[in-house]
C-alpha cells in the first residue's frame, strides 16, 4: 500500500508539472496569433458609414483599454496566472464583457455529453465485439462485424455524417437534424426537454459511433488474436478453465490495458470538440466556440478552453495511471 | 456484462441531459412555452454563425450578441430607411423621422422632425429625448458602437421640442443623416427611460429588450441558434404600421445552418426563406420543389446584391502603379469564363464600379451604354474600344441548352439578369499595354521593367463563388504569361486592412442600391483613409487608391444636396469615368444572392416582378416584407 501511495504521489507531481507547462505553452502560442481582437471589433463596427479616421482611432484606444490587451506579453502572462488562481480567465472578446469561463461552461456540457456517450459506447462495443472476434475467429457473425468495421473505418467522418443527415433527415425524415433541443420545450429539469435533448443527440452520436467503432474493433481483435497464442492461454485451456473466464478474465482483461490508455487519450478530444459534428448537425458545443474564438482573436476564450482541456486530459491520464496497477500486475510489481 | 453496458449508456445519456439542462438553467433565459401555429409563423434563415452571447440584446455594444436574429429587423428602429430595391412606396422611408432631414445652407446643422404617436414596446412614448439621449450617450461613452461616428461629427444635439431634434455639426456634411439611414444597419435609437437608469452601459445586457419595432422577443435558444419574436398587440403604434399590418404572428430566425441543412429544412417545411445558397443548391431546390422560387422566376434566380465583387489591387505595391498594367490584366480576362466558373452562368456582370442592382441599371448602366461602347483606350501602340455590350446575351445563349425555358428571351430582361456588358478579352491589346509600360516578353512569360518575371499572389476566400472567381482568374492570367498564385486566405479581411496583400478578390463597393447617391461607399475612397504602407487602416479604401481628382469629387458630394438627384447622378457618372481611366480595381459582377422563398405557408415575397424590397432577410429593411406577406391558407 505504501508503495502504491508513493507511486500515486509521484504521478500527482507529474500532473502538476504537465499542467503548468501545458497551460504556459498554450498561453504563449495563443498570444502569438496574428489576429488582433481590437482590429476585429473595429472592422465590424467601422464597416458602416460615418467613421472618419479620427473616429476609428478613438474607438481603437477605447477598445484596447476595455479589453485589457495593453501591456507586454510577460505582464499579461503574470496577469493570466493571477486571474487563473481565482478561477477567472477574463472577459471573452467575442462576447465582451461575458467571462470566457461562462461561455466554456455553457458549451461544455453539450460536447462532453455527446462525446463522452459516443466514445464510451464506441469503446465498449468495439472492444467487446473486437475481443470476441479475436478469440472466436471462426464465428460468422463476428466476422461480419469485422467486414463492417473495415468497410466503414476508411470513410471520412464528414461523409458518414452527411449520409445520416440525408437518410434520416430527408429521405426518411424521422429525426431532427439541427440543434440541441426543440424550440417548443422548456429547457430544464423536465421530461419533454430531456427527451428532446436525447432525440436531437441520436444522429450526431450515431454518426460518431459508426465511424469510431471500427478503430476499436480492429485494434482489439488484433490484440486478442496475439494473446490467444500465448502459453498461459493454452495452459488455461488445457487445464480446463471455463471458456468465459479465459475470455474475459485472462484474454480481454490483458488486451484492455493499452485500449484503456488509448481511451484516456481519446477523451481528451472532447475538449477540442467535435467541430465537424457540430457544424453538420448545428449542434451546440465547445468546438464551434473554439473556432469562433480563434477566428475572433479571442485569446481569453481560447485559453479557457485550452486550460480546461489540458487539466482534464492530464487528470484523465493520471486516473488511468492509478488504475493500471490494479489491472496489470506487471505495473503493480514495479 | 450487457446490463452493465446499458446502465453505463443510460447514465451517460442522463448525464448529458442533466448537463445540458444545467447549462440552460444557469443561463437563466426565458424559455419557449408553447407550440407555435405554423400557419401564423414565418421561419427565416439568419446567415450568422452561433451567437456567442445569445442573451445580449444591447446592440449599442459590440458584444457577440446577434444582430440578424430579428433584433435589428423586428425590434429596433431609427430615423430613415433606404431600400436597395424600389420600395413599397419609393426608395426612401421616413421611419422615426416624419420627413427628410433639413440642412442649413452650409450643411453644418441638421434638423429632424419626428413621427408622433410612436410607442416603445413597454408603453412609453417615443420622443426627441430618446434621440438626444442616444447621441449624447454615445458621444460620452467611448467604446459604444456609434460613439466614434458621433463624437467626431457632432458638436451638439438638442431637443427643440418633443418632436424636433437639432444637430450642430463640427464640419459641413450633407450626408450626416446616413448614420441614421438603414440599408442593412444604422445607429438605432435607445430607450432613454431605460438606459438613463443604467450605471454601466458597456456591461448592460438589455436582457429584456424594449423596442420600437412591431415585434417583441418571445424566446431564444440559450445555445444561440434560434430566436422567436411575437407581434406586438399595439403594432399599430409603430412606424411599420404606415405600410400595413405585419402578417406573421411569430417570426423565427434560425442561424448557424450549413447549406445542406437549409435545403433539407425548407423541403421539410421548417424554413420559409433561405438567405443564401450555392448556385447548385438553388438550381436543385427550384427544380425539385414546385412551391420554392428565387428572385427571378427562372434562371439565374439570384438577387443582385448592392455589392460588387472585384479584383482589388494594392496600389502601394509598385507592380500595380501604372494604370496600363491594371488595364492589361483586365483585358486578359474572359467574362464568360468568369461567369461560368463562379456562378455557373448565373452572374450579373458589371463593367463599371457600380453594382447592377436596384435602380442603378436605370441611373447608370443603361444610360452609360453609349459612353461605354465608345470608350477608347490608348494602348500605347493603338487605340481600341474594349467594351463588349453583348456579353450578357452571349452567356444567356450559352446556358440556354441546359436551362431551356428558364432563361429569359427578352433582351432587356437578359441585360437585367446577366448584365449589360463587360470587357472583351483582348490579349493583343493587353500585350501592347504591358509593352508600353516597359514590360518585355520572354516566351510566354511577361517580364517587369526591372527584368524580373511578372507575377503576384491573389488572396481568395476559403469557399463560395468568390473563391471560384479568384481561382479561375489566376489560371487565366497564368495562361497569358503572368504568374498568378491564388492563395486561400481565411484571414483575408485583417490582411486587407493591414495592406498585407498584392491583390485580393472581394468587394470594395456597397451602395444604397435603390438610391442613386453613391456617397455610401464613395466617401470611403477618400485618400484621408489611406495609411502608410504596412500600417493598418480603417475598413475603407482597401486598394489604398489615392487620386486628387477623386478627393475633389468626394468633397463636392459631401457638400451637395442629397435630395438633388440629378446632380448626384451626374457626380456618380463622373466617378465612373474617373474609374474607367484609372481602373483602380477590376469590377466583375454583383454579388448575386440565391435567396430561396417557399410559398408553402406564405406568399407575397419580393421578386424581380414585384421588387418592393431587398429579399435578403438579414437586412433590417426586410421588416417591410412582413407587411406584404399573406398566409397561403387564407
- CB distance A198–B493 less than 8 Å? no
Contacts of A166 in chain B (CB under 8 A): 260, 264
- Closest Cβ opposite residue A54 in set B5, B65, B152: B152
Q: Quick one: pLDDT at residue B8?
A: 46
Q: Give dist(CA B312, CA B540) in Å, integer.
A: 12
What percent of chain B shows pLDDT beyond 90? 76
**A96/B62 touch (CB, cutoff 8 Å), yes or no:** yes
Give a yes or no: residue B55 inside a domain.
no
Helix (H, G, I), strand (E, B), or coil: what is residue B96? Answer: coil
**B312 part of a folded domain:** yes
pLDDT at B126 over 70: yes
Confidence of residue A62 (pLDDT cuts 50, 70, 90): confident
- In chain A, whose CA is at the least distance from the CA of B223? A284
Q: Which residues on chain A are in Cβ contact (under 8 Å) with B258?
A: 279-280, 282
- In-domain check, residue B488: yes
Q: Which residues contact B611 (CB under 8 A, 6 or more apart)?
A: B85, B86, B358
- Shortest distance, CA B321 to any CA of chain A (angstroms): 24
Q: Chain A: residue nearest B29 by CA?
A: A187
pLDDT at site A79: 83
pLDDT of residue A273: 59
User: How do B181-182 and B215-220 pair as beta strands?
Assistant: unpaired
Give tens-digit pLDDT for A26-58. Answer: 888 888 777 777 877 777 776 655 567 777 777
Give the number of other CB atoms < 10 A from CB of residue A171.
9
For residue range A188-203, what is the model confidence (pLDDT) as tens digits? 888 888 898 999 999 9
Interface test with A, best of B20, B182, B270 (most A CBs within 10 A): B20
Exposure string of B595-609, with b = 16+ CB inside 10 Å and e = fewer, is bbbbebbbbbbbbbe
Residue B598 domain-assigned? no
- Closest chain B residue to A98 measured between Cα atoms? B53
pLDDT at B577 over 60: yes
To the nearest whole angstrom, how far is the Cα of A3 from the nearest Cα of chain B? 32
Instruction: Reply yes or no on whether the pLDDT at B352 is more than 70.
Output: yes
- Closest-CA distance, B511 to chain A, in angstroms, reads 11
Distance between CA B324 and CA B384 in Å, rounded? 13
Contact across the interface for B32 and A92, Cβ inside 8 Å? no
pLDDT for A41 = 77
* DSSP sequence for B308-338: EEEEEE-TTSGGG-SHHHHHHHHHH--HHHH
β-sheet bridge partners, residue B384: B377
CA distance B290 to chain A (A): 17
Which of B15, B52, B182, B257 best tests the A interface by mutation, with the highest count of A CBs <10 A? B52
Residue with cell 453539450: A110
- The distance of Cα A313 from the centroid of its chain, to the nearest Å, equals 9
- CB nearest B31 (choices: A36, A162, A186): A186
Interchain pair B225, A185: CB under 8 A = no
- Search chain B and give the residue with CA nearest A109: B19
Residue A48 to residue B267, Cβ atoms within 8 A: no
CB contact under 8 A, B265 and A178: yes
pLDDT for position A272:
61
Residues in B closer than 8 angstroms to A59, CB to CB, are: 142-143, 147-148
Label residue B195 by pLDDT band (50, 70, 90). Answer: very high
* pLDDT higher than 90, residue A116: no
Alpha-carbon span B151 to B472, nearest angstrom: 45
> Mean of the pLDDT values across residues A49-72?
74
Taking contacts as CB-CB distances below 8 angstroms, the residues of chain A near B185 are 48
The shortest C-alpha distance from B628 to chain A (Å) reads: 26
Chain B residues lying within 8 Å of A110, measured CB to CB? 16, 19-20, 23, 223
Is the Cβ pair A66, B56 closer than 8 Å?
Answer: no
- B-chain CB neighbours of A47 within 8 Å are 539
A4 vs chain B: nearest CA distance in angstroms?
A: 28
Q: What is the CATH number of the domain that holds B479?
A: 3.10.105.10
Asked if residues B146 and A46 have their Cβ atoms less than 8 Å apart, the reply is no
Q: Tell me: pLDDT of B30 over 50.
A: no
Name residues whose C-beta falls within 8 Å of residue B81's C-beta, 6 or more positions apart in sequence.
Answer: B92, B93, B95, B181, B182, B183, B620, B621, B624
What average pLDDT does range A290-313 have in this prediction? 86
| Contact list, A295 vs chain B (CB under 8 Å) | 490
Q: Is the pLDDT of residue B129 over 70?
A: yes
Cis peptide before A97 (omega within 30 of 0): yes
Q: Is the predicted pLDDT of residue B21 greater than 70, yes or no?
A: no
Which whole number is the average pLDDT over B582-590? 96
Answer whether residue B483 is part of any domain: yes
Give the number of beta-carbon pairs within 8 Å between A and B.
251
CA quadruple A304, A306, A309, A310: dihedral sign: negative
What does the pLDDT look like over B432-459, one tens digit per residue? 999 999 999 999 999 999 999 999 999 9
Taking contacts as CB-CB distances below 8 angstroms, the residues of chain B near A95 are 52-53, 56, 63-65
Quote the minimal CA–CA distance from B123 to chain A in Å. Answer: 28
Cβ A120–B25 below 8 Å, yes or no? Answer: no
Q: Where are the alpha helices (DSSP H) in B502-564?
A: 519-522, 548-558
Q: How confident is the model at residue A268 (pLDDT cuts 50, 70, 90)?
A: low
Residue B586 has pLDDT above 70, yes or no: yes
What chain A holds in terms of domains, given with CATH numbers, is 114-286 (1.10.3720)
Determine contact, residues B29/B54, Cβ cutoff 8 Å: yes
- Comparing B621 with A274, the larger pLDDT belongs to B621
Residue A275 in this model has a pLDDT that exceeds 50: yes
Instruction: From chain B, pick out residues whose CB is under 8 angstroms from the CB of A109.
Output: 16, 19-20, 22-23
Contact B63 A280 (CB under 8 A): no
Determine, for residues A56 and B538 on separate chains, whether the beta-carbon distance falls below 8 Å.
Answer: yes
- Name the residue in chain B with its Cα closest to that of A47: B539
User: CA-CA distance, A8 to A14, in Å (whole number)?
Assistant: 10
Residue-level pLDDT at A332: 58
Hey, are the CB atoms on B491 and A162 less than 8 Å from each other?
no
Record: contact B16-A109, CB cut-off 8 A: yes
pLDDT at residue B165, as a whole number: 98
Nearest CA in chain A to B143: A62
Partner-chain contact B536 A39, CB within 8 Å: yes
Q: Which residue of A has its CA nearest to B496?
A: A43
What's the Cα-to-Cα distance from B400 to each of A198, B138, B417, B631, rounded to whole Å? 49, 55, 14, 35
- Percentage with pLDDT > 70 across chain B: 94
Using CB atoms, pick whichever of B8, B32, B257 lies closest to residue A120: B8
Q: How many domains does chain B have?
A: 1
For residue B527, give the chain A residue with the closest CA: A53
What tens digit of pLDDT does each residue of A80-93 get? 888 888 878 888 88
Residues written for chain B: 634
B177 membership: H or E segment, kind and range: none
pTM: 0.85
* Cα–Cα distance, B572 to B575 (Å, whole number): 5
Does the beta-carbon distance from A280 to B258 stay under 8 Å? yes
Dist. CA A28–CA A157, nearest whole Å: 32
Give the residue from A136, A36, A109 showing the smallest Cα distance to B19. A109
Q: Which of A60-74, B155-169, B373-387 has the lowest mean pLDDT?
A: A60-74
Q: Cβ of B17 and A194 within 8 Å?
A: yes
Q: Does the residue B327 lie in any domain?
A: yes
Residue B272: name the closest of B293, B249, B297, B287 by CA: B293
Residue B497 domain-assigned? yes
Please answer yes or no on whether A120 and B12 come within 8 Å at the CB atom: yes
Q: What is the dihedral of CA B316, B321, B327, B329, to 10 degrees?
A: -60
For residue B510, the enclosing domain spans 303-592
**pLDDT at residue number A70:** 73
Determine the pLDDT at residue A8: 85
Please tell me which of A205-219, A256-270, B9-23, B195-209 the model is most confident about, judged by mean pLDDT.
Answer: B195-209
What is the bridge-based pairing of β-strands B630-631 and B455-460? unpaired
Contacts of B305 (CB under 8 A, 6+ apart): B84, B355, B357, B590, B591, B592, B593, B616
The predicted model gives B396-411 an average pLDDT of 90
Say what the ipTM of the complex is.
Answer: 0.74
Of B16, B27, B264, the CB nearest to A197: B16
Mean of the per-residue pLDDT values of chain B? 91
Task: Using pLDDT thresholds of 50, 70 and 90, give the confidence band for residue B6.
Answer: very low
- A contacts of B202 (beta carbons < 8 Å): 66, 97
Is B8–A180 a contact, with Cβ atoms under 8 angstroms apart? no
Q: How distant is the Cα of B183 from the closest Cα of chain A, in angstroms?
A: 10
According to the per-residue pLDDT averaged within each range, which of B4-18, B21-35, B615-629 is highest? B615-629
Compare CB distances from B63 to A62, A95, A120 and report the shortest one's residue. A95
Residues in B closer than 8 angstroms to A34, CB to CB, are 491, 494
Whether residue B523 lies inside any domain: the answer is: yes
Q: For residue B356, what pLDDT is reported?
A: 94
Amino acid at each position: 500500500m505504501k508503495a502504491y501511495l508513493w507511486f500515486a504521489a509521484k504521478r500527482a507531481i507529474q500532473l502538476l508539472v504537465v499542467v503548468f507547462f501545458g497551460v504556459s505553452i498554450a498561453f504563449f502560442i495563443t498570444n502569438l496569433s496574428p489576429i488582433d481582437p481590437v482590429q476585429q471589433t473595429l472592422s465590424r463596427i467601422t464597416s458602416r458609414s460615418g467613421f472618419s479616421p479620427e473616429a476609428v482611432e478613438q474607438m481603437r484606444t477605447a477598445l484596447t483599454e476595455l479589453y485589457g490587451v495593453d501591456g507586454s506579453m510577460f505582464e499579461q502572462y503574470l496577469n493570466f496566472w493571477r486571474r487563473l488562481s481565482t478561477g477567472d480567465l477574463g472577459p471573452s472578446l467575442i462576447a465582451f464583457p461575458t467571462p470566457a469561463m461562462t461561455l466554456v461552461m455553457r458549451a461544455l456540457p453539450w460536447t462532453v455529453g455527446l462525446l463522452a456517450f459516443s466514445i464510451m459506447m464506441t469503446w465498449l462495443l468495439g472492444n467487446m465485439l473486437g475481443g470476441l472476434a479475436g478469440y472466436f475467429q471462426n464465428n460468422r457473425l463476428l466476422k461480419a462485424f469485422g467486414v463492417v468495421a473495415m468497410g466503414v473505418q476508411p470513410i471520412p467522418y464528414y461523409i458518414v455524417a452527411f449520409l445520416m443527415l440525408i437518410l434520416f433527415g430527408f429521405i426518411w425524415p424521422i429525426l431532427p437534424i439541427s440543434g440541441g433541443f426543440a424550440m417548443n420545450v422548456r429547457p430544464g429539469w423536465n421530461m419533454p426537454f430531456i427527451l428532446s435533448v436525447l432525440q436531437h443527440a441520436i444522429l450526431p452520436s450515431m454518426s460518431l459511433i459508426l465511424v469510431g467503432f471500427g478503430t476499436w474493433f480492429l485494434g482489439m481483435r488484433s490484440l486478442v488474436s496475439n494473446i490467444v497464442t500465448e502459453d498461459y492461454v493454452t495452459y488455461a485451456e488445457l487445464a480446463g478453465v471455463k471458456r468465459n473466464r479465459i475470455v474475459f478474465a485472462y484474454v480481454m482483461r490483458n488486451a484492455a490495458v493499452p485500449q484503456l490508455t488509448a481511451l484516456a487519450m481519446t477523451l481528451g478530444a472532447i475538449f477540442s470538440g467535435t467541430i465537424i459534428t457540430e457544424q453538420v448537425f448545428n449542434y451546440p458545443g465547445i468546438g464551434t466556440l473554439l473556432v469562433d474564438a480563434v477566428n475572433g482573436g479571442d485569446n481569453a476564450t481560447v485559453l479557457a478552453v485550452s486550460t480546461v482541456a489540458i487539466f482534464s486530459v492530464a487528470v484523465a491520464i493520471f486516473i488511468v495511471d492509478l488504475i493500471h496497477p490494479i489491472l496489470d500486475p506487471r505495473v503493480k510489481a514495479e | 456484462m450487457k446490463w452493465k453496458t446499458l446502465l453505463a449508456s443510460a447514465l451517460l445519456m442522463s448525464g448529458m441531459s442533466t448537463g445540458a439542462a444545467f447549462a440552460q438553467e444557469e443561463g437563466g433565459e426565458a424559455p419557449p412555452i408553447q407550440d407555435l401555429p405554423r400557419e401564423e409563423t414565418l421561419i427565416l434563415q439568419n446567415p450568422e454563425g452561433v451567437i456567442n452571447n445569445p442573451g445580449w440584446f444591447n446592440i449599442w455594444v459590440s458584444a457577440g450578441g446577434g444582430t440578424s436574429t430579428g433584433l435589428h429587423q423586428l425590434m429596433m428602429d431609427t430615423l430613415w430607411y433606404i431600400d436597395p430595391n424600389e420600395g413599397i412606396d419609393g426608395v426612401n422611408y421616413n421611419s422615426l423621422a416624419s420627413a427628410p432631414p433639413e440642412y442649413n445652407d452650409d450643411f453644418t446643422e441638421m434638423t429632424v422632425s419626428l413621427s408622433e404617436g410612436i410607442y416603445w414596446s413597454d408603453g412609453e412614448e417615443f420622443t426627441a429625448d430618446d434621440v438626444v439621449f442616444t447621441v449624447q450617450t454615445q458621444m460620452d461613452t467611448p467604446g459604444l458602437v456609434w460613439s466614434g461616428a458621433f463624437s467626431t461629427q457632432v458638436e451638439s444635439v438638442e431637443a427643440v421640442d418633443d418632436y424636433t431634434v437639432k444637430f450642430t455639426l463640427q464640419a459641413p456634411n450633407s450626408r450626416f443623416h446616413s448614420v441614421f439611414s438603414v440599408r442593412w444597419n444604422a445607429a438605432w435609437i435607445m430607450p432613454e427611460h431605460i438606459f438613463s437608469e443604467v450605471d454601466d452601459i458597456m456591461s448592460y445586457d438589455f436582457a429584456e429588450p424594449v423596442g420600437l419595432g412591431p415585434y417583441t422577443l418571445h424566446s431564444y435558444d440559450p445555445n444561440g441558434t434560434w430566436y422567436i419574436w411575437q407581434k406586438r398587440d399595439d403594432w399599430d403604434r409603430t412606424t411599420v404600421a404606415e405600410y400595413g399590418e405585419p402578417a406573421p404572428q411569430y417570426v423565427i430566425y434560425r442561424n448557424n445552418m450549413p447549406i445542406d441543412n437549409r435545403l433539407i429544412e425548407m423541403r421539410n417545411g421548417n424554413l420559409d426563406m433561405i438567405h443564401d445558397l450555392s448556385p447548385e443548391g438553388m438550381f436543385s431546390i427550384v427544380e425539385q420543389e414546385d412551391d420554392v422560387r428565387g428572385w427571378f422566376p427562372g434562371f439565374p434566380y439570384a438577387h443582385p446584391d448592392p455589392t460588387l465583387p472585384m479584383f482589388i489591387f494594392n496600389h502601394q505595391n509598385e507592380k500595380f502603379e501604372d494604370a496600363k498594367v491594371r488595364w492589361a490584366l483586365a483585358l486578359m480576362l474572359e467574362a464568360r469564363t468568369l461567369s461560368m466558373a463562379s456562378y455557373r452562368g448565373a452572374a450579373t456582370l458589371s463593367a463599371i464600379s457600380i453594382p447592377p442592382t436596384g435602380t442603378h441599371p436605370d441611373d447608370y448602366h443603361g444610360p452609360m451604354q453609349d459612353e461605354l461602347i465608345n470608350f477608347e483606350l490608348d494602348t500605347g501602340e493603338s487605340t481600341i474600344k474594349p467594351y463588349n455590350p453583348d456579353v450578357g446575351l452571349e452567356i444567356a445563349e450559352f446556358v440556354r441548352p441546359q436551362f431551356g425555358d428558364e432563361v429569359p428571351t427578352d433582351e432587356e430582361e437578359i441585360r437585367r439578369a446577366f448584365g449589360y456588358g463587360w470587357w472583351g478579352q483582348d490579349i493583343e491589346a493587353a500585350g501592347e499595354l504591358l509593352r508600353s509600360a516597359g514590360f518585355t516578353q520572354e516566351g510566354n512569360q511577361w517580364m517587369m521593367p526591372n527584368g524580373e518575371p511578372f507575377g503576384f499572389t491573389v488572396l481568395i476566400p476559403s469557399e463560395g463563388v468568390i473563391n471560384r472567381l479568384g481561382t479561375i482568374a489566376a489560371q487565366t492570367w497564368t495562361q497569358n504569361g503572368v504568374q498568378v498564385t491564388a492563395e486561400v486566405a481565411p484571414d483575408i479581411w485583417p490582411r486587407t486592412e493591414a495592406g498585407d496583400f498584392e491583390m485580393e478578390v472581394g468587394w470594395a463597393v456597397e451602395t444604397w442600391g435603390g438610391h442613386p447617391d453613391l456617397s455610401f461607399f464613395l466617401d470611403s475612397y477618400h485618400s484621408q483613409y489611406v495609411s502608410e504602407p504596412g500600417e493598418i487602416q480603417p475598413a475603407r479604401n482597401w486598394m489604398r487608391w489615392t487620386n486628387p481628382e477623386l478627393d475633389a469629387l468626394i468633397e463636392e458630394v459631401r457638400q451637395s444636396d442629397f435630395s438633388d438627384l440629378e446632380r448626384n447622378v451626374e457626380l456618380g457618372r463622373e466617378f465612373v469615368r474617373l474609374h474607367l481611366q484609372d481602373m483602380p480595381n477590376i469590377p466583375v459582377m454583383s454579388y448575386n444572392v440565391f435567396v430561396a422563398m417557399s410559398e408553402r405557408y406564405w406568399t407575397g415575397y419580393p421578386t424581380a416582378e414585384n421588387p418592393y424590397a431587398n429579399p435578403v432577410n438579414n437586412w433590417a429593411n426586410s421588416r417591410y416584407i412582413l407587411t406584404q406577406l399573406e398566409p397561403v391558407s387564407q
